[in-house]
Amino acid sequence: MKENCAVRMMTLIEEIFPLARRFNSPGMDRAYEIVQEHYDELSIYEYPSGLVCEDWTVPFSWEAKSGVLKDEAGQVLVSLEEEMLFVAAYSEPVEGWFSKKELLAHALVHPTLNDVFMFQHRLGFNLERPQWGISLSQNIVDLLKEDKKYYLNIEVETKANSMKVAEWLLPGTSDRTICIAAHIDEQLCNDDLTGCVVGLELMRWIQEKTDRKYTYRLLLFPETIGSFIHMYSHQEDFANTICQLNLEMVGAGEQLKIKHSFHGDTAIDHILQMALAHQGVDYGALEFFDGYGNDERSFEWPTFGIPGVALQRHPFQYYHTSKDTPQIISPEYLLEALEVSKTFVAIFENDYIPEYTMVLPPKLSKRGLYFDAVNDRENFKKFNNHLLYMINGTSKLSDIAYALQLDFFEVYNYIEQFVQQGLIIKKEEIA
């Protein structure tokens, strides 16, 4: 089962990765087509170029058709054909002879890795001030001479087109919604095709749960501009959204980490922490503005105020570089992130407010619910003492488990015996 899941995720990554994907582009159009071929439950929203949403405008479609840098002898130093990141996304076309100084004024170069090209993400956010841009490896820069000129030619095609956002909606008995999000653009792999494929597999798993309490919405955006435009255009869809889980760079990197919500100590943060602990993951933590920022920032913007937590592997050595390819992705890391995400959802689905039905404490030994204070001192203290005294008819099971640093499902299974014997009722199930 897990093997099939890993194969599906890696297959989709390898299909989409070669496409030049940025905001609004033929590569993005094809990426959405591929995803729909694998998951026909997805709906595609389209936003035409030039659509204005307050300060933000849907960009035109952009595609690099060719790009080459040559020396005076005509030797090709780098071309778009051999390195997709050479031409910066949303670069202006340019042709001419330039000095080393002039080239470097428009070039992005990695500060420590000599053999990589960097993903230039800034030009697409600054279309009001168009300019040309390139990425060069330090090895290429070292070949450039101060007293020489170099021929650069970049050809691009721009046109009107619709920027797209993919959605998969799974209604529950309540319209209270949990949003799963990832961005599908950026011409990279770990960042963030890995989040996309984990999100899709998570929704496949949720779809099998026909007795869902919550509604689930998966969104695959062009990063930032996609979430801004989509949320602004569908504000009513987010009125009942209680939280967002952002999946970002989960296939490679040093350590899986929770990226906390803006307020940092909310029930959503606690539930994700309990999911990580339940899976036995050696995880770390990042504050909201630390690590790699993504669409959780859109959800947490004060006018939306939707708590956004994230899973990401951090630090990631090849962040925004040409070495972020399918070859570095660990299927085991993808499965780990998927299992944590499933547990996150399962805690929500099984959570409720427990309330006693009797005035006096039940006789635990009579009902087979007692842990011996001498022979099983640890469970006696955890369950018969602290846990049972935390049940007050107002606190959710997840709040109690987190406060006592107990595994949610151990607590759930123990209290479920009280429910079955009519000693506790599930007073409220929806957050």
Which pLDDT tens digit goes with each residue over 379-407? 888 888 889 999 999 999 999 999 999 99
Concatenated DSSP letters of 314-383: ES-TTTTBTT-SGGG--HHHHHHHHHHHHHHHHHHHH--EEEESSSSPP-TTTTT-PPPTTTTHHHIIII
Phi then psi for 106, rounded to 5 degrees? -115, 10
* CATH architecture, domain 61-159: 3-Layer(bba) Sandwich (3.50)
Who contacts 412 (Cβ-Cβ below 8 Å, separation ≥6)?
350, 397
Q: Where in the chain is the domain with CATH 3.40.630.10?
A: 2-58+162-350
pLDDT above 90 (res 3): no
User: What tokens appear for 404 in the block?
Assistant: 């006592």
What is the pTM (predicted TM-score) of this model? 0.95
At 136, the amino acid letter reads L
Which pLDDT tens digit goes with each residue over 38-48? 999 999 999 99
Q: What is the pLDDT confidence band of residue 210, given thresholds at 50, 70 and 90?
A: confident
Count other Cβ atoms within 10 Å, centred on residue 20. Answer: 20
**What CA–CA distance (Å, rounded) separates 417 from 349?**
18
Averaged pLDDT for residues 190-196: 96
Averaged pLDDT for residues 10-29: 96
DSSP assigned state of 91: P
Strand partners, 64: 156
Judge contact between 132 and 93, C-beta under 8 A.
Answer: yes
**What CA–CA distance (Å, rounded) separates 307 from 246?**
11
Q: Which CATH number fits domain 2-58+162-350: 3.40.630.10, 1.10.3210.10, 3.30.2320.80, 3.30.200.20?
A: 3.40.630.10
Q: Where in the chain is the domain with CATH 3.50.30.90?
A: 61-159
pLDDT above 80 (res 30): yes
Which pLDDT tens digit goes with each residue over 48-77? 999 999 999 999 999 999 999 999 999 999
Phi then psi for 149, rounded to 5 degrees? -115, 155
The sheet with strand 255-259 has its strands ordered as 43-48, 162-170, 215-221, 177-183, 241-248, 308-314, 255-259, 284-286
- Would you call 244 helix, strand, or coil by DSSP? strand
Judge contact between 424 and 356, C-beta under 8 A.
Answer: yes
Check whether the bond before 175 is cis (ω within 30° of 0).
no
Which pLDDT tens digit goes with each residue over 178-188? 999 999 998 89
Residue in this structure with the two tokens 């990141």, named with its chain if needed: 85
pLDDT above 90 (res 411): yes
**What CA–CA distance (Å, rounded) separates 173 from 214?**
6
